[in-house]
Chain A
Amino acid sequence: MTATPVLDVSAPSAPVAGTPLRVAVVNGSPSRQSKTMGLADVILHTLGQILPVEASRIDVYRLGPGFTGAVERDEVTPEVEDALRSAEQADLLIAATPVFRGSYPGMFKHFFDLIDQYALANKLVLLAGTGGSEQHALFLEHALRPLFGFFQAMTVPVAIFASSGDFDGTLLLNPRVHGRIEMAFADVADLLKARAGSASKQATG
């Protein structure tokens, strides 16, 4: 199982009805105890208060030799194929990764090297990153956003960055980052609602 379904991420306090938004989180962190996923949890939680969400998560560092050994798409194992498809078919893709050696890790890029060239065109993509200090914040704009520019994806204007000091372990504590996440989704709230379930309809129809 490579695309792990995430348990109920919508806020218990604010149940929201309607067709769920299919969200795929692509996780570029090698750590099991991951600040990047701590950030992703808050992002999914915030999103769950706007509309119903059906989230899955792809840990690129856990995809194994069927992923790392594949140079072309047709060489991947069926599990990896499922993971790639869940990213390609999502209504919203959350690209979440730590900065490593000045950019996103190679393993993270390898995942997108295997993604179909046009599968992400016009897809909503939220950029989220973590780093050891604030000095890394612009890697989201200078490295991660151009990747999705190539794919002609529709990246959410506000990208989310959190540095190590914003976390207690993997728990995000800085209220300013929480506020930025809310702002990112508020900007595209109408689009999110319009797109809930639309990608899956296209995929099946």
Chain B
Amino acid sequence: MAFEIGIMTFGEITKDPVTGAVPSPRQRVRETIEQARAADQAGLDVFGVGEHHRSDFAGSAPTILLAAAAEATKRIRLTSSVTVLSSEDPVRVWEQFATIDLLSAGRAEIIAGRGSYTESFPLFGYALEDYAELFREKLDLLLKIREQNPVTWRGRFRAPLVDADVAPRADGATIPIWVGVGGSPASAVGTGRLGLPIALAQLLGPITFHEQTVELYRAAAAQAGHDASALHVSINVHGYVGRTSQQARDVMYPYFAQGMMENNHQRGAGFLMSRLAFDAQATPGAGLLVGSPQEVIDKLLAYHELYGINRAIIQMGFGGMPQKEHLAAIERLGTEVAPVVRREVAARMKAGAPA
């Protein structure tokens, strides 16, 4: 698998901390599709839409946005990032992604996750206490639907299926299903046992944050007899590609701090991330992918060396990054960063460096 670089969004609807303006939901869904088009034209490999069920995000129905993106793009792969599978019906998930796959001539992908936000559970009538079991069971059904049609299946959380015809089928041979993992050892082991590709979510912290996750994932996969070369690892991380090191940090900081204020609470209230703390996250030893094109190239190659990743998906719109700056960063990521990283990784692979 060649190295892939992409972007993802939740369709953030955040008050601009600089101008005070709040974009309308209509504006944000249009901008989301425009980002997909820009990413496609810049030669990026993946466009992802995440799922949040809140007024400050436009992405409660990622499949609809991905379907619209399918019409606006030609080559880029289209993925959820993530589908909160625990509160979904896997039959419906399959139908929707298979339809996107047809619309896009085989470009649909799914990242299935438990969800770091839990608003979807009460919305769709699920109990949080079943968090782990819901995910296990629904992933099992989704994989079975992908594997065979008609399908016969029985579980605890939905009616059984007996010789059920689940259509349409994928445009090509299959639809990739990744599992989104936040870093819990149990999720890493569970994903490894199934031999599924793993998408590591990293918010902040050291670049080595997922060392144990990846180690456990690969060990569990090997123990279950899965071919190591078929294991795909993706890092999904926040970032921003600027013109220069300083410009990237200056542009990203106020928006990222705003996003953190609204989404990461301590003692039940948002807190202001200081510029000092932000700059620390931008150093080579930390995971945040912010900086000049060369800095982002270096950090992506460091991720590759650490984890053997073959995909990176960067969220650049967190905290309401204005569209103009967002599009400029997409352009730089696609034209200045991605070609170099792909070439370097290919050279490493040829030289027999870690897969």
Contacts and interface: CB of A to CB of B under 8 A. Distances in A.
Interface in B286-344: none
Contacts of B186: 165-168, 171-174
Interface of B: 129, 131-133, 136, 183-187, 189-190, 216, 219-220
A65 interface: no
A96 to B, nearest CB: 19
Contacts of B129: 33
A149 interface: no
Interface residues of A, number: 14
A94 B190 CA distance: 28
A176 interface: yes
Interface of A: 33, 164-176
Contact of B189 (A164, A169, A170, A175): A175
B184 A169 contact: no
A1 B136 CA distance: 34
Nearest to B130: A169
A174 B183 contact: no
A21 B8 CA distance: 56
A176 to B, nearest CB: 7
Given A168-B190, A169-B136, A175 B216 contact: yes
B185 A165 contact: yes
A173 B216 CA distance: 10
Given A174-B189, A174-B216, A175-B219, A168 B183 contact: no
B185 A173 contact: yes
Q: Which of B183, B184, B220 has the most CB of A within 10 A?
A: B184
Contacts of B183: 165
Nearest to B136: A168
Q: Which of A167, A169, A175 has the most CB of B within 10 A?
A: A169
A164 B183 CA distance: 11
Contacts of A175: 189, 216, 219-220
